[in-house]
Amino acid sequence: MSKANPTMKDVAAEAGVALGTVSKVVNGLPVGESYRVRVEEAIRKLNYQVNSYAQGLKLNKTRTVALLIPNTQEPYYGSLAYHINSALLRRSYRMLLCSTDSDMGQEQEYIKMARQNKVDGIIGLTYNPNLVIEEGTPFIAIDRSMGQKIPCVASDNFAGGQLAAEKLADLGCRNVAFLRTGASLTNEPNKRKAGFENGCLSRSLPYEMKILNDGDSLEEFDAFLTKHIQNGRLTFDGIFCVTDSLAYYILKVLKRLNQRVPEDVQLIGFDGTRHFGVQDYVCSTIVQPVAEIAEMCVALLLQENMSVKPPLVCLPVSYAYGGTTAETPGAANHSEQP
């Protein structure tokens, strides 16, 4: 029977041709029709597969990309991993998954591994300000600017914040709040705050902010909201949360405080997270274009017709109704596909 791991040499012997001819057939280079057929038959017969390791060693090109991401459990991350994998597959690239738990040591370790593994590039979602990336390793950052030399792909977070403010204004809110958890770094999602402020100001909508520091407990929000209750009514009639995850938490707090959503207070989150079983959004939200972010990262990394790499690419966000806002009159924007 055929050998366990046939090489090109075996194929050449089987087909009765030269080694170089097999290489040409395998790589689709021009070769006489009769030879091509003979070689293809031998390949089928021996069940030959090229050895990517030999190929990679010779060509110094591995068609492999590493994805650094905190985990694949949270919906936004899991979804990114999925779409990036798809975008790479479409281009016949392989993906090494590096889930880092946002541990700085592990992130750096993975970068080292990626270098040993001669990946063609790295796509990374990390908030590590001390991450060292070698010159010469193509790197695309998601959601965090890492200097002029490294392109960053993100949603248009500023526009998203602004959109949330405008939406709340359109929905008749008179006094709103912005809630954000820690992450003191200068990363892209922080622009949601500035965008929201900008939107409130342009609509003359009074607002307050509650921003937690890194170590703070979520329960600070409970206290904050409780403090703003007068005669059993929350003084805010609109809340914008920095993520859907936080919005989901706040939803529970509001329930406990006997505030009805959306009748008493409307709530908008950020990300576009959907309920896993049914496909509804978990709350009214600013949807991140995850598939487009993934596609853009891959296109940028693989240099597809890009003469110059932009330092920052912002992709458009959209609003989606998810039950925690009053429906806009006449608007048919329930459960839009992202």
Partner DNA sequence: GCCTTTTGTGAAACCTTTTTCGCAAAACGA
Partner DNA sequence: TCGTTTTGCGAAAAAGGTTTCACAAAAGGC
**184 binds a second copy, rule: CB under 8 A:** no
Q: Which does 198 bind (CB under 5 to 8 A by kind): a second copy, DNA, none?
A: none
**CA distance to 125, 196, 267, 319, per residue, from 274 (Å):** 21, 23, 15, 13
Q: Residues 221, 232, 264, CA angle at the centre, nearest 5°?
A: 75
Instruction: Mark the segment that binds DNA (CB under 7 A) among 7-15, 148-156, 266-274, 308-316.
Output: 7-15
**27 binds a second copy, rule: CB under 8 A:** no
């997270």: which residue's tokens? 273
Residues 118-147 that bind a second copy (CB under 8 A): 118, 134, 136
Q: Which residues contact 272 (CB under 8 A, 6 or more apart)?
A: 244, 281, 285, 286, 287, 288, 290, 320, 338
- 143 Rama class: left (phi>0) / alpha (psi -120 to 50) / beta: left
**97 binds a second copy, rule: CB under 8 A:** yes
**183 binds a second copy, rule: CB under 8 A:** no
Q: How far apart are CA 103 and CA 126, in angstroms?
A: 9
Residues 228-247 that bind a second copy (CB under 8 A): 243-247
**226 binds DNA, rule: CB under 7 A:** no
H helices of 132-203, where? 157-170, 191-202
Among 99, 108, 145, 198, binds a second copy (CB under 8 A): 99
**69 binds DNA, rule: CB under 7 A:** no
The answer to whether residues 247 and 285 touch, using CB atoms and an 8 Å cutoff, is yes
Q: What is the token pair recorded at 228? A: 């703003």
Give 30 or 136: the residue with its C-beta nearer to a second copy.
136
Which helix (H) or strand (E) covers residue 319, if one does?
strand 318-320
Mapped onto helix, strand or coil, the DSSP state of residue 332 is: coil
Instruction: Mark the segment that binds DNA (CB under 7 A) among 1-9, 146-154, 253-261, 311-319.
Output: 1-9
Mapped onto helix, strand or coil, the DSSP state of residue 292 is: helix
Least distance (Å) between residue 287 CB and DNA: 43
**79 binds a second copy, rule: CB under 8 A:** yes
**30 binds DNA, rule: CB under 7 A:** yes
Q: How far apart are CA 191 and CA 186, in angstroms?
A: 9
Size of the site for DNA (CB under 7 A): 28
CB atoms inside a 10 Å sphere around CB 275: 12
Among 147, 277, 329, 330, binds a second copy (CB under 8 A): 277
Residue type, position 167, single letter: K
**335 binds a second copy, rule: CB under 8 A:** no
Instruction: Mark the segment that binds a second copy (CB under 8 A) among 20-28, 45-53, 150-158, 198-206.
Output: 45-53
**96 binds a second copy, rule: CB under 8 A:** yes
Bridge-based pairing of strands 139-142 and 152-155 is parallel
Least distance (Å) between residue 50 CB and a second copy: 6
Residue type, position 204, single letter: S
CB atoms inside a 10 Å sphere around CB 319: 22
Residues 125-154 that bind DNA (CB under 7 A): none
Among 112, 174, 227, 256, binds a second copy (CB under 8 A): 112
Give 290 or 296: the residue with its C-beta nearer to a second copy.
290
Mapped onto helix, strand or coil, the DSSP state of residue 252 is: helix
The binding site for a second copy (CB under 8 A) comprises: 4, 47, 49-54, 56-57, 62, 67, 71-75, 78-79, 81-82, 85-86, 89, 94-99, 106, 112-113, 115-118, 134, 136, 243-249, 252, 273, 275-278, 282
The binding site for DNA (CB under 7 A) comprises: 5, 7-9, 16-21, 23-24, 26-27, 30-32, 35, 48-51, 54-55, 57-60
